[in-house]
Amino acid sequence: MRILVFLPLAACAAGSFVSDELNDSESGADSASDSGTDTAAVRDVCTRWTTDRAALTEGSWSGSVNSCNAGDISADGRESALRLVNLYRWLADLPPVTTSATKNTAAQDCALMMHANDDLSHNPPTNWSCYTDSGATAAGRSNISSGPGTMSVDMYMIDPGNSSTLGHRRWILSNSAGPIGLGSTSESSCMHVLSGSGNAGAQWTAWPPPGGVPLEAFTPGTIFWSGLDETGWSVQSDSIDLTNASVTVTRDGQALSVNTSTLQQGYGSATAIAIRPQGWATQAGRYTVSVDAAQSFSYDVDVVDCD
C-alpha cells in the first residue's frame, strides 16, 4: 500500500507522503541497564508502548462517497489515533492533547473530500467531488493522508517524503498542539493540527527523545519502506534558533557520521534541524546528541528493544 501524506502551512495550507503537513510562522531493559539507564524507567517505556498499541483499530466509517456523506469514524477508531498521538507526545515528555468535536467534524469533511477525489490537497478546488467549505478550510489546517487515521499517525512520525520540513512530526510534537481534530474514512484521513491553543512550553523537543525510546518506534506499525534513520532524527524549538546548528552523535565514546540540515521554519515549531545517520543504523543502546546552536545543549537517547 502506498500512503501519501501532506502537511499544513502557516495558518492556511501547505503540503506531501502520500500525506501532507502544515506550516505555522525485557531484553531492552537489560540493554538499557548496561548503558546506565534506569531499568524501571525502561520498563515503563516498553509497557506504555506495548499497551497503547495492543488493540489499535481503524474503526468503521459510517459515511458514503456516493452520497457525499462525511459520516463519522467510530469512537474506537478515533480513540486509537488519539492514543497514538499521545503515546508519541508522552515519549517526548509533552502533555497529552484532546480532540475537539468541532475540529473532528471539520476533519471528517476534509477526509471525505480526499477519499472522493483520490487525491490530496491543502487547497482543494471548488469543483472537487463532495466539496464543502468546511472540508476545504480543514484541509488547509491539517496533516492529510491517503491512509486511514490510526496508521497515518505512525506515518506522520516517520514522515517520508518531507525531507525539507519533517512537518507532520513537528506538528504532532508542537508546543501549541491541542485540541486537535481527527477525521477518517476507510481510505483517507485528516488531522486538524493548526491553530492549537496548547502551551507545553518545551524549550526544545527531539525525536527520538531524551531518555528511553523503543527501537520499534524507528520503524513502527505498518511502516515497511522507510524508517526514522532514513527520514531523519529531528530537534525543534520555538525559543532557540537552530538555524545552521551543528550536531555530534556519539555511541560508546565513538563519534558517528551524520548529516545535519536546517528544516523549513514554521512547521509546528519556529526552527528545526534534521539529523540523518550516515553509514550506520540505530540499534539498542545509548546515543549522546550534542547540539551546537545559539544556545547549545546535549541529551542521551536510550534506545531499548521492547519486542
For the segment 244-262, the average pLDDT, to the nearest whole number, is: 97
Cell reading at 109 = 469533511
Q: Residue 209's CB: how many other CB atoms inside 10 A?
A: 22
Lowest mean pLDDT among 30-39, 43-52, 227-236: 30-39
Per DSSP bridges, beta strands 233-237 and 285-292 are unpaired
Q: What predicted TM-score, i.e. pTM, was given to this entire model?
A: 0.91
DSSP code, position 218: G
Give percent of the chain above pLDDT 70.
87
> Binning pLDDT at 50, 70 and 90, where does residue 52 land?
very high
Measured between alpha carbons, how far is 242 from 239 in angstroms, rounded to an integer? 9
Q: How many Cβ atoms from other residues are within 10 Å of residue 40's Cβ?
A: 9
User: Is the confidence at residue 237, as pLDDT, over 50?
Assistant: yes
Q: What is the pLDDT of residues 75-122, one digit of tens each?
A: 999 999 999 999 999 999 999 999 999 999 999 999 999 999 999 999
**What are 8-22's pLDDT values in tens digits?**
543 332 333 445 556
pLDDT in tens, 274-293: 999 999 999 999 999 999 99
Distance, CA of 145 to CA of 6 (rounded, Å): 6
For position 203, what pLDDT does the model report? Answer: 98
Per-residue pLDDT tens for 177-232?
Answer: 999 999 999 999 999 999 899 999 999 999 999 999 999 999 997 666 789 999 99
For residue 209, give every residue at least 6 positions away whose Cβ sits within 8 Å of its Cβ, in sequence order, or none.
91, 92, 93, 301
Q: Rounded distance, CA 150 to CA 132, Å?
A: 24
Residue 61: closest CA among 181, 190, 185: 185
